[in-house]
Structure formats: structure tokens, C-alpha cells
Amino acid sequence: VVVVLRGDPYSGGAAAAVKAIRERLHEIAPGGLLGGIPAENYDIEQTNARDTKLIVPLVLLVVGLILALGLRALVAPAYLMLTVVASFAATLGLCTFVFSRFGSEGIDFDLVLLSFLFLVALGVDYNIFLMARAREESTGRGTRKGILVALVDTGGVVTGAGLILAGTFATLTLLPLEELVQIGATVAIGVLLDTFVVRALLIPAITYRLG
């Protein structure tokens, strides 16, 4: 049986229609199948959503363990991971707003997972670089003085690396594929936010206050 949807086959409404048609179809014929591009897109989105729920906690767990072993501490890795998650959430929220307001109907289905992997990997690199230096400096200077010295000593390298990475990912916005445009813009904005706000202000401030 051929079914043609009235609306956009790539829209959220099409995904809802696929779900409803399948439910009705299985009531009539439990072994019945529904195919076509809207059904394939719906299946991919559902699979990606399940993968995201599995991969995100695993990544956070592995990264947290690496930070704990590298810094030989428990409190610092905890708030470092919180800053990474907060930075990602802020980036995703900002980009979702921008994409929805300027030319896009929403975000691509795999944007959350891909941007999360990129931003967590890059953010944790900066975390390890800054905090490892702070740990070295704090041995003789104390934690508060050590984090300030580490911030000054690593600031130029982190800023330069952040600008290079942001510029590299920003080049994806020149391509004609909306998926790559969204990924490139999201990672570029996230890296800049991570470089100039999280790494330069938030983490040093938290470390300084906690001592």
C-alpha cells in the first residue's frame, strides 16, 4: 500500500505520522512493515537518541576517571566536569536558538551527540593542561596563588589553540550541507565559549574560591 504524506516528509510532523501509522498498522497486521524515507529518518533519529543516552554518560564517566587519576583529586574533577557540561548546554541552547530563528527549522538529529563529543574532548584537553600546571604551581605557592600563575602561564597557549580550532571548524559553515554548517558553527562557538569564559574565568574562579 502506497501512502503519501500531505506535509513535508522531513519534518517533525512526518515523524509523528510514521509513528501513528506504524501503531495502526501493527494493530491490523503485527508483522507489517512501513518503509520509505520518512520512516528511515524516524528510525535513524530514534537510534541516535538511544545512542546518545548511552554514550554521553559513558564519556563523562571515562573523562571523570581520567581527570581524577591525572589530578589525583576528587573535588576538582567533579567541578571540572560540571563546567564542561554547563559549557556544552549553553552552546547548544544558543545555537538552537540561532538556527531556529535564522533559516533552519531546527537542529539536525545528530548535532547533540557529535557536538558533545567534540566539545567534551576539546574542553577536557584544556582542563588537563590548565589544572596540571596549577597542581605543579600549588605545591610551593598554595592553590590560590598556583591557579593564578598557571592561568597566566597557560593563557596564551590555550587562547591560541582555541582560536585555531574555532577557525578550523568555522570553515564548515561555508559548505552547502546544513548538517555540516550546524556542526561547524556549534563546535566553533563552543570552543570560543570554552576558551574565553570557562577556561579563562569560570574554572580559575571556582578553584580560587574553593582553595
3-class SS at 105?
coil
**Amino acid (1-letter code) at residue 50:** R
> Residue 172: how many CA atoms within 13 Å on its side-chain side?
17
Grid coordinates representing 4?
503519501
Over the stretch 118-129, which tens digit does the pLDDT of each residue have? 999 888 888 888
Grid coordinates representing 158?
590555550
In order along its 211 residues, the chain shows pLDDT tens digits of: 898 988 888 888 899 999 999 999 999 999 999 999 999 999 999 999 999 999 999 999 999 999 899 888 888 889 899 999 999 999 999 999 988 887 677 788 888 999 999 999 888 888 888 888 888 888 888 888 999 999 998 888 889 999 999 999 999 999 988 889 999 999 999 999 999 999 889 999 998 888 8
pTM: 0.82
Over the stretch 140-149, which tens digit does the pLDDT of each residue have? 888 889 999 9
Burial of 120-148, coded b for 16+ CB within 10 Å and e otherwise, reads bebbbebbbbbbebbbebbeeeebeebbb
